[in-house]
Structure 1
Amino acid sequence: MHPSRRQFLAVSAAAALSVPAWANESDSILDCHTHFYDPTRPVGVPWPGKADKLLYRRVLPADYHAVAKPLGITGTVIVEASSWVEDNQWLLDLKGGPLSIPGIVGRLAAGTPEFAGQLERFRKSNRWLGMRLNADQLDKLDRASPVLRDLKQLSEANRELDINGGPGMLPLVNQLAKALPDLRILINHCANLPIDGKAPPAEWIQGMTMAAKHSNVFCKVSSLVGGAAQRRPANAPVPADPAFYRPVLHVLWDTFGPDRLIFGSDWPVSERFAPLATVFGIVDAFFRDQGQEAYRKFFAGNAARAYRWPGA
């Protein structure tokens, strides 16, 4: 599934030739989309399933640190994949060791009677940065919507919202950003666009453009290799060459600019398609070309603005 070692080293060597001096400085690099879990807990985990031979294993900060440290990645924001409310607390209690964990993106059931109490509980922790929502919960956003009611509470608590879904969710993001202009919204995985190395479809560009008109909307540049895998036969390797992903990255850059794009790997899910070094190398190459300030914003500064952890 992964690109050959020879292919990866060739790409890395070519990229290294153009590394400006500032790119070798020891700035913080923050990965804003990882998942940690432990199936060996007495209660187990709701995700991933036991049949998943790649992901069904203990995945903890030390495991990520082992592959992230050589790339200069110093910290991560964890995104909760579990639907169990108590797993918000499990992540808050997780120790990062040498890996910095400035906070987590939790998961609560918006639109339910329990939401207000759950939000009040977890907002007491500065490390509970917000929550993730699947886009299919945004189908009806009129004034009577219980989901909209709860997201307004989230906004008033000064917490953010990660949204995951396909390209069709972008008009809903536009609608939500208009309804709640103080709610910071992070589009996950570039709206899960299938990537084929060519110019992205007009509908996706239009949707991203509409969403980006709202200053409270950010885009997490994550799961690019997952998008590439959507356009390839099962188990076929995805391209490691950063040039393959540049048509999509250029649109995101032109649409959101230097202040609202954020790095995320989607590790360990990304391991289905490519090693972390390839995932990082794709965006590292592109943002080096945008200059020192944009590079630092993408890999740390913009996340601080979007998540607003203490001191940011």
Structure 2
Amino acid sequence: MTPELWLETPGAGSGTYTGPIVDSHIHLFDPRRPQGIPWPPKYDAIHRPTLPADYFAASGKHCVTGAIAVEASPWQDDNFWLLETLRVDARMLGFVGNLVPGADDFRPALERLAAEPLFLGIRCGNLWDRDLREGVRNPAFIDDLRALAESGRSLDSANPDARLIEALLEIAHQVPALRIVVDHLPGAVIPVYQEQTFLHNLRTLAAHPGVFAKISQIPVNASDSAQARNRLDTLWELFGEDRCLFGSDWPNSLHEAPFPDILGSALWFMRDKSELAKTKFFSTNSARAYR
């Protein structure tokens, strides 16, 4: 449901959020570079220059005032490409980089990036053939996450499943000072036989006050799906108005729907929440997660 259609829905009126929006999850890349890009692949419809101006051309008229980029490359040098790309647009509030905890080059790269206010943290999870559950068994991996916490940065997860939530629980236990942002939970595909374990572990994870839920990948048919509505209601119950934040996953989300429809799903989800809760979700909670 697009924001325009939501505004036209009978009785919606006061339920529609119209304040400033910070999008906490977008991807930027440029396949025109001499070295190319590792993602998305050439056959993908979004394999094209995707830069701050492109994002705000799509989102600006929908009250989006700022955005946070999430690195879409495993190449360490691309952290610095992304940093320089963000510098040209003050609406870009920072970026979540891609470093590998436990690797020999983690600490030197973290030290360089930690000197940059635009660097907000790293993403690690189910992507680039990495296994967070294996990582937490490595003492060097945990030590590097402690260094990340000491730098004041956050850990974003990637593409949650039951195994990843188990790993995040272990990280929250071993590195309690580390803020953790769990992304894409609304769209997580969990087998029926794992559902109860997944929910139990997610509830335990949410009990840690430094863990946030990035409400990205909301199904565009959420208003018509009892399963999607139940998942969203559960996330709100577990993390509450202070630890849920909006992310569009643009331009990856274009595989599902145009930006207005993606935002419309989030507006629909928040329609009955208080004005303060809406402001936190769409704007100020991003600063709490990535302070």
TM beyond 0.5: yes
SS at match of 2:30: coil
Q: Is the 8 A contact 1:242 1:283 kept in 2?
A: no
Q: Label 1:242 to 1:285 Cα distance change in 2 as closer, same or farther (>3 A).
A: farther
Deviation of residue 252 (structure 1)? Answer: 0.6
Quote the residue 1:172 is aligned against.
167
Structure 1, residues 229-262: CA drift from partner, whole Å, max 9, x if none?
Answer: xxxxxxxxx5274765322111011111111001
Quote the residue 1:94 is aligned against.
85
Q: Label 1:278 to 1:208 Cα distance change in 2 as closer, same or farther (>3 A).
A: same
Distance 2:79 2:86 in 1: 14
Distance 1:80 1:307 in 2: 15
Q: How many residues align?
A: 284
Q: Does 1:47 align with 2:39?
A: yes
Task: Work out which of the residue numbers 182, 199, 205 in structure 1 matches 2:199.
Answer: 205
The normalised TM-score by structure 2 is 0.89
Quote the residue 1:141 is aligned against.
136
- Within 5 Å, give how 1:152-167 maps onto structure 2: 152-167=146-161
Structure 1, residues 126-175: CA drift from partner, whole Å, max 9, x if none?
Answer: 11010100151332524x52211111110111110001133211121111
Q: Label 1:217 to 1:16 Cα distance change in 2 as closer, same or farther (>3 A).
A: farther
Distance 2:216 2:241 in 1: 16
Residue identity (%): 35
Quote the residue 2:256 is aligned against.
273
Deviation of residue 102 (structure 1)? Answer: 1.0
The 10-residue stretch of structure 1 (287-296 or 117-126) with the greater mean CA deviation from structure 2: 287-296
Distance 2:40 2:217 in 1: 17
Quote the residue 1:287 is aligned against.
270
For the aligned residue pairs, the C-alpha RMSD in angstroms reads 2.6
Distance 2:4 2:195 in 1: 30
Quote the residue 2:20 is aligned against.
28
Quote the residue 2:283 is aligned against.
300
Q: Label 1:150 to 1:15 Cα distance change in 2 as closer, same or farther (>3 A).
A: farther
Distance 2:284 2:91 in 1: 15
SS at match of 1:41: coil
Quote the residue 1:233 is aligned against.
none
- Within 5 Å, give how 1:65-104 maps onto structure 2: 65-95=56-86, 100-104=91-95
Deviation of residue 265 (structure 1)? Answer: 0.7
Deviation of residue 289 (structure 1)? Answer: 1.0
Q: Is the 8 A contact 1:15 1:285 kept in 2?
A: no
AA partner of residue 25 (structure 2):
H
Q: Is the 8 A contact 1:130 1:160 kept in 2?
A: yes
Task: Work out which of the residue numbers 239, 260, 269 in structure 1 matches 2:221.
Answer: 239
